[in-house]
């Protein structure tokens, strides 16, 4: 078992070296002199942040993305541990993780096109609802995790394929960069706090409660988005 795990990490390291080598071959654009424009850029940046702070739609959308990445952090960290307590085979646990990733890779391009044709806000809310049921399913079920994992991947795909374009549409042209930067930062915060909060809950109450708590986070994020996200427009 130890040799198998070592070989797996060795394979990941080789893949990383290949990716790094490939990136180094990509031509880079010449540096742009911006020192003389620093003061102007700072004023624009401050104005953009203030505008972003006042835009409840963008903040609500960022919160939705953060909540679903919070759940993903719990999923990828604690589902293998939960599987061990249920004496699930290792290959089945790996299939759970893979089914989620494969579902995203297959569905996201199509859902991105779908979000262009229909209103993006209802699509985001639909994905959050599906993700909520998935996290409850992880907490309550002892089987069918592969199916629930695939559905969770679908919910992530539904939300993230529409959230970034929705933020872009709601931001002013001058604040576009700040809006997208805030989206990325808040998503990272959600992804980071998921394992931390899940670890505390798993230690004090139990593993399944980490997933139940995640569903509550989704409900809060979805409720905020429903109140501020122009779902009917």
Average pLDDT over residues 164-186: 69
- Annotate 79-134 with DSSP letters as a single string: HHHHHHHTT--HHHHHHHHHHHHHHHHHHHHHHHHHHHHS-HHHHHHHHHHHHHHH
- Residue 25 sits at φ, ψ, to 5 deg, of -85, -10
Report the pLDDT value the prediction gives residue 202, as an integer from 0 to 100: 87
pLDDT band at 136 (very low <50, low <70, confident <90, very high): very high
If you average pLDDT over residues 125-139, what whole number do you get? 93
Q: Please indicate whether residue 104 or residue 112 has the higher confidence score (pLDDT).
A: 104
Residues contacting residue 24 through CB under 8 Å, at least 6 positions apart = none
Give the percent of the chain with pLDDT over 90: 22
Question: What does the pLDDT average to over 202-227?
Answer: 90
Per residue in 52-73, pLDDT (tens digit) is 555 778 888 888 989 999 999 9
Dihedral sign, Cα of residue 147, residue 149, residue 152, residue 157 = negative
Judged by average pLDDT, the poorest of 2-6, 51-55, 112-116, 178-182 is: 2-6
The DSSP line for the chain is -HHHHHHHHHHHHHHHHHHHHHHHTS--PPP---GGGHHHHHHHHHHHHHHHHH-HHHHHHHHHHHHHHHHHHHHHHHHHHHHHHTT--HHHHHHHHHHHHHHHHHHHHHHHHHHHHS-HHHHHHHHHHHHHHHHHHHHH-SS-HHHHHHHHHHHHHHHHHHHHHHHHHHS-GGGHHHHHHHHHHHHHHHHHHHHHHHHHHHHHT-HHHHHHHHHHHHHHHHHHHHHHS-TT-
Check pLDDT > 70 for residue 80.
yes
């Amino acid at each position: 078992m130890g040799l198998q795990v070592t070989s797996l990490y060795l394979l990941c390291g080789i893949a990383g070296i290949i990716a790094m080598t490939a990136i180094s071959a990509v031509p880079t654009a010449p540096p742009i002199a911006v020192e003389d424009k620093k003061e102007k850029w700072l004023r624009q940046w401050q104005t953009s942040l203030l505008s972003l702070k006042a835009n409840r739609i963008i903040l609500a959308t960022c919160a939705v993305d953060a909540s679903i990445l919070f759940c993903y952090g719990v999923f990828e960290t604690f589902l293998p541990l939960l599987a061990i307590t249920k004496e699930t085979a290792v290959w089945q646990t790996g299939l759970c993780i893979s089914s989620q990733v494969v579902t995203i890779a297959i569905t996201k391009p199509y859902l991105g096109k779908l979000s262009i044709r229909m209103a993006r806000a209802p699509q985001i809310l639909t994905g959050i609802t599906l993700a909520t049921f998935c996290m409850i399913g992880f907490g309550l079920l002892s089987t069918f995790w592969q199916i629930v994992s695939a559905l969770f991947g679908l919910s992530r795909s539904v939300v993230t394929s529409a959230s970034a374009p929705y933020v872009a549409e709601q931001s002013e042209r001058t604040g576009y960069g700040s809006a997208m930067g805030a989206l990325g930062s808040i998503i990272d915060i959600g992804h980071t706090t998921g394992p931390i909060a899940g670890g505390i809950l798993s230690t004090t109450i139990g593993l399944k409660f980490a997933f139940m708590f995640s569903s509550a986070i989704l409900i809060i994020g979805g409720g905020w988005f429903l109140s501020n996200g122009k779902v009917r427009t």
